[in-house]
């Protein structure tokens, strides 16, 4: 049997008591678990505006596929695409949107066109686009009027919605 010196015995005892004391101290401290609270969802008025924009964009894609030579249609589609980019940029400021768009990006594609391309008559298709533009303009105007002035991003959102509504009104005028 190996002999242990008194110095070794004492140092091991000291080490053991230090570790034991430290462990006891750690156990007595309260443990705080951070509960993961999801951020609030973005305002419905903004997500609805984006949904309208996507629907209009799908309508323009369908109309352009059917009537690529229709004058002015590509320009109007470009406006709608710009609206989507601007709305998306504003929505990025809401943590709830970032969270939901990250988790459902692949499961939330642009809505499909209501009818297959090429089946609508030219005038009916343009008339449908005009009606959709009028409806979207009215809805966006109302969203702009209803947006609370006290909301954190109101100075950004109110003029954006106002400009989009005015643009959609002029679209309806061009398509009429």
Partner 1 sequence: MTAPGQDAVTQALQRVLAAQHAAVYGYPVVGVTLRSAGQIRLARQLEARHRQTRDELMAQLATRRVAPVPAQPSYRAAQPLAGPADAQRWALELEEDCAGTYRYLLVAPVLAATMRTGTGPDGASAPGAAEQASLRRQALAGLSTAASTATQWRSLLSPSTPTTPFPGL
The binding site for partner 1 (CB under 8 A) comprises 71-72, 74-76, 78-79, 82-83, 86, 137, 141, 144-145, 149-150, 154-155, 158-160, 162-167, 169-171, 173-174
Which is nearer to partner 1, 9 or 74 (by Cβ)?
74
Which is nearer to partner 1, 98 or 134 (by Cβ)?
134
At its nearest, how many Å lie between partner 1 and the CB of residue 143?
Answer: 11
Residues in the chain: 176
Residue 101 host element (H or E): helix 95-104
Task: Report the distance separating Cα 117 and Cα 101, nearest Å.
Answer: 28
Which is nearer to partner 1, 135 or 163 (by Cβ)?
163
Which is nearer to partner 1, 103 or 170 (by Cβ)?
170
Task: Report the distance separating Cα 176 and Cα 75, nearest Å.
Answer: 16
At its nearest, how many Å lie between partner 1 and the CB of residue 50?
Answer: 15
At its nearest, how many Å lie between partner 1 and the CB of residue 176?
Answer: 11
**What does the CA dihedral 81, 83, 88, 93 come to, rounded to 10 degrees?**
160
Alpha-carbon dihedral sign for residues 157, 158, 163, 164: positive
At its nearest, how many Å lie between partner 1 and the CB of residue 151?
Answer: 9
Burial class (CB in 10 A: 0-12, 13-18, 19+), 116: exposed
């Amino acid at each position: 049997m190996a002999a242990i010196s008194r110095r070794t015995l004492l140092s091991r005892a000291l080490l053991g008591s230090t570790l034991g004391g430290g462990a006891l101290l750690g156990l007595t401290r309260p443990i705080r678990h951070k509960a993961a609270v999801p951020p609030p969802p973005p305002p419905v008025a903004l997500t609805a505006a984006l949904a309208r924009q996507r629907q209009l964009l799908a309508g323009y894609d369908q109309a352009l596929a059917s009537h690529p030579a229709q004058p002015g249609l590509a320009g109007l589609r470009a406006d709608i695409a710009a609206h989507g980019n601007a709305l998306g940029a504003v929505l990025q400021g809401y943590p709830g949107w970032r969270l939901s768009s990250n988790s459902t990006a692949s499961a939330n594609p642009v809505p499909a066109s209501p009818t297959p391309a090429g089946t609508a008559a030219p005038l009916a298709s343009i008339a449908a686009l005009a009606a959709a533009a009028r409806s979207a303009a009215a809805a966006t105007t109302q969203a702009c009027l209803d947006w609370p002035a006290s909301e954190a991003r109101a100075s950004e959102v109110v003029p954006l919605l106002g400009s989009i509504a005015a643009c959609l009104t002029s679209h309806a005028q061009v398509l009429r």
